[in-house]
Amino acid sequence: MIRDWPYHLVVRISGFHPEHTGSNPVGVTSMLERARKFIQVSAINQAFAAGYSSFIGAEIAVVNEITHQKGASLVTAVGLTAIGAVVALEEYGARVKLQEYDKVTRLFQLYGWDKKIVNPMSHTRCERRVVKIASRDCGFEEPTMQYLSSKKIQLSKDQT
């Protein structure tokens, strides 16, 4: 039991669990589907983390090239720490969005469409994006869009 604790930690953190494999014995299909949903729900977080880390990485390379040795290691250490912190925070935000998606999907599956599910998730653009993706996956996209438009909230097609 103690020997399996890293496995259980990975399952808890990643959200990938062998019981979610369906008919696929290896679970690759469900893992890829889960990864696709993760990227779909948190696209802004992923893009920001990639862009920021690329920008800081390029800046570190330029500073190291200019200074050659003076202060290069300090700049590298600070830059890598900044990259790690931003990427970690963005990944945490993305994970929270995936958990919100799972929660909304579960609520739709349990209770069907209800404005009490959609209303608390209709305040920010990120929440509306999560609700739209979850409602589309559960077959409730039309009533969700009607409800959001009745609240004068517009979701464009590029937010899918």
- Residue 50 inside a domain? The answer is yes
- Residue 24 inside a domain? The answer is no
Segment 126-135, tens digit of pLDDT: 889 999 999 9
- Residue 34 inside a domain? The answer is no
- Residue 101 inside a domain? The answer is yes
| Cα 59 from Cα 75, distance rounded (Å) | 9
pTM of the model: 0.65
> What average pLDDT does this structure show over 10-32?
55
Asked whether 86 and 45 are in contact (CB, 8 A), the reply is: no
- Residue 67 inside a domain? The answer is yes
**pLDDT at residue 108, rounded to an integer:** 94
Number of structural domains in the chain: 1
Q: Which domain holds residue 88?
A: 43-159
Question: How far is Cα of residue 42 from the mean position of the Cα atoms in its chain?
Answer: 3
- Residue 128 inside a domain? The answer is yes
> What average pLDDT does this structure show over 140-154?
84
> What average pLDDT does this structure show over 77-106?
86
Segment 6-20, tens digit of pLDDT: 444 444 445 555 554
* Residues in CB range of 144: below 8 A, 6 or more apart: 113, 118, 131, 132, 135
- Residue 88 inside a domain? The answer is yes
- Residue 7 inside a domain? The answer is no
